[in-house]
Amino acid sequence: MVAVIKGDIINSRKAKSPRKWLSPLKKLLGKWGAAPKTWELAWGDFFQLEINPDYALSAAFEIKALIKSIKSSKNDEKISAIDVRMAIGVGEKNYSGKRVSESNGQAFILSGEKFDILKKEKITLAIRTPWEEFNDEINLYLKLAGVFMNTWTIPSAELVKTVLQHPDATQQEIGEILNIKQNSISGRWRRANVNAIMEIDRMYRSKLSKLML
First to last CA, the chain: 11
Confidence at residue 79, expressed as pLDDT on a 0 to 100 scale: 84
**pLDDT value of position 77:** 59
Mean pLDDT across 168-188: 91
Give the relative orientation of helices 171-178 and 154-165 as an angle to the nearest 10 degrees: 120
Q: Where are the beta strands (DSSP E) in 43-185?
A: 46-51, 83-91, 125-128
Q: What is the mean pLDDT of residues 9-29?
A: 86
The per-residue pLDDT for 181 is: 87
The per-residue pLDDT for 12 is 84
CB environment 30-42: b (16+ within 10 A), e (fewer): eebeeebebbbbe
Share of the chain above pLDDT 70, in %: 96
pLDDT of residue 73: 61
> 84 - beta bridge partners?
9
The verdict on whether omega for the bond into residue 36 sits within 30 degrees of 0, i.e. cis, is yes
Band (pLDDT 50/70/90 cuts) for residue 14 is: confident
- pLDDT for 184 equals 87
- Which helix (H) or strand (E) segment holds residue 20: the answer is helix 19-29
Mean pLDDT of the chain: 94
Q: Which residues pair with 104 in a beta bridge?
A: 95
The rounded distance, in Å, linking the Cα atoms of 134 and 120 is 21
Closest CA relative to residue 81, chosen from 22, 143, 11: 11
Q: Is the pLDDT of residue 80 over 90?
A: no
CA 135 to chain CA mean position, Å: 17
Residue 76 has pLDDT above 80, yes or no: no
Contacts of residue 106, defined as CB under 8 A and 6 or more positions apart, other chains included, come to: 89, 91, 92, 93, 94, 130
The answer to whether residue 25 scores a pLDDT higher than 70 is yes
- Nearest Cα neighbor of 159 from 60, 68, 72 is 68
72 pLDDT band, cuts 50/70/90, is low
pLDDT at 74: 60
Is residue 86 pLDDT above 60, yes or no? yes
Task: Please give, one letter per residue, the 3-state secondary structure of 149-205.
Answer: HCCCCHHHHHHHHHHHHCCCCCHHHHHHHHCCCHHHHHHHHHHCCHHHHHHHHHHHH
Q: Note the pLDDT tens digit of each residue in 31-51.
A: 999 999 999 999 889 999 999
When pLDDT is averaged across residues 56-80 and rounded to a whole number, the result is 86
The predicted model gives 135-163 an average pLDDT of 96
